[in-house]
Amino acid sequence: MSEALLWGLIAAGSLLVGQLLTTPLGRSTRTVGLMMAFGAGTLISAVGYELIPEENLELGWEIGAAFLVGALTYYVGARLVDRGGGSGTALFLGALLDGIPESFILGLGLALGGEVSVAFLAAVLLSNIPEGLAGTADMRGSGVGERRITLMWAALTVVCGIASMAGYLVADQGSHTGEIASAFAGGAVLTMLADSMVPESYERAGRVAGLLTVLGFLVAGVLSSLQ
């Protein structure tokens, strides 16, 4: 369980790395967009290969239902965040909505397989950095102080570490609990990608963002096949 906590903290802690990179890179909208596109590609790969692999579909309607519930959960949460009008709190909640299921699945995978999925960990790390970078830049532009931004990302990291421990514990509660939780996380993550990460990467970087998305997908897919 302590190992699950550690991996959850490491994965979410990359948001703080994104904050550190905001000063040298945040001024280039195109660079931020390209990083977001690559991170989106890694997460798309993770949904297909790690969260909802083909063998899990054999469980039947439970997988489809969990996938839809995850998508609806993110959708409702995102609508509530939109009412914040782009404030620092709204941006923080937006990152939390996809950070929790990602961390949850890290702990889940550790419990079920005995080790963390390298491909999924890489996908989370590579998507959190541009998310932290873009979120920090937007919060700075909204007048949020640097100390408050750091505290927000740090708090989110701790919550994600706890979510990873929860995933580890839930894996022992039933024969198909892990697969259902993975499908839930997959629905939430895929909705986040379609709702914000992919459109924002295109808006910031233009059509070349599509090529970086494909590259991110390929890198994560190779890592998954090698594990």
Type and span of the H or E element at 84: none
Q: CA 63, CA 158: separation in Å to the nearest integer?
A: 29
**CA angle (39, 43, 44) in 5-degree steps:** 115
73 contacts 188 by C-beta, under 8 angstroms: yes
pTM of the model: 0.81
Tokens of 140: 């700075």
What does each of the 227 residues of the chain score in pLDDT, given as a tens digit?
Answer: 889 999 999 999 999 999 999 888 877 888 888 988 998 898 898 888 878 888 888 888 889 999 999 899 888 887 877 776 555 455 566 677 778 877 888 888 888 777 787 877 888 887 788 888 878 887 888 888 899 899 999 999 999 999 999 888 887 655 677 778 778 888 888 888 898 889 988 998 999 999 999 999 998 888 877 76
96 contacts 159 by C-beta, under 8 angstroms: yes
Residue 167's alpha-carbon distances to 40, 63, 150, 192, 208, in angstroms, are 23, 17, 26, 20, 36
Tokens of 145: 């102080």
